């Protein structure tokens, strides 16, 4: 993928700065950390202390929303590590979690047209 294509891909999904507790798990191991930002396509998580991973296997993430009663649950693939943060691409998200994530993005974008373009781009990539 060319640099221009990568930039266009990144622009399709707005990153929302979002400070929330996150539980990340893989192969029976579990870490608690925090979310730095989130989009319809993935999430950036602060690298947990003592973090070890198998880059080839998926992760499960549970991101707590306000009041800790609701969560966004995702199946993730490791994408990158930069400045003590871990980038993950979302491979799967259940319908309830997608509803919460869509609402979170909608509230933070304050641009309904942009939200619809991002949702359309997401459906094209899957």
C-beta of residue 93 within 8 angstroms of C-beta of residue 77:
no
Q: What is the pLDDT of residues 66-110, one digit of tens each?
A: 876 899 999 999 999 998 999 999 999 999 999 999 888 888 776
Cα distances (angstroms) measured from residue 88 to each of 45, 81, 82, 107, 116: 8, 9, 12, 22, 23
Structural domain includes residue 10: no
Cβ-Cβ contacts under 8 Å for 104 (sequence gap 6 or more): 16, 18, 38, 65, 72
Decide which of 113 and 19 is more confident. 19
Decide which of 1 and 38 is more confident. 38
Report the distance separating Cα 98 and Cα 106, nearest Å.
12
What global pTM score does this model have? Answer: 0.79
Q: What is the CATH number of the domain that holds 84?
A: 2.40.10.220
Structural domain for 62, as ranges: 15-125
Q: What is the pLDDT of residues 14-65, one digit of tens each?
A: 788 889 999 999 999 999 999 999 998 999 999 999 898 999 999 999 999 9
Q: Are strands 85-93 and 42-46 parallel, antiparallel or unpaired?
A: antiparallel
């Amino acid at each position: 993928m060319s640099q221009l294509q990568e930039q266009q891909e990144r622009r399709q999904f707005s990153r929302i700065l979002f400070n929330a507790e996150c539980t990340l798990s893989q192969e029976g191991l579990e870490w608690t950390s925090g979310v730095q930002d989130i989009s319809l396509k993935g999430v950036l998580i602060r690298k947990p202390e003592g973090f070890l991973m198998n880059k080839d296997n998926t992760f499960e993430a549970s991101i707590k929303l306000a009041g800790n009663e609701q969560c966004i649950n995702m199946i993730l693939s490791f994408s990158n590590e930069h400045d003590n943060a871990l980038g993950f691409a979302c491979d799967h998200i259940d319908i309830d979690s997608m509803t919460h994530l869509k609402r979170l993005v909608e509230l933070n974008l304050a641009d309904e047209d942009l939200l619809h373009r991002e949702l359309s781009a997401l459906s094209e990539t899957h």
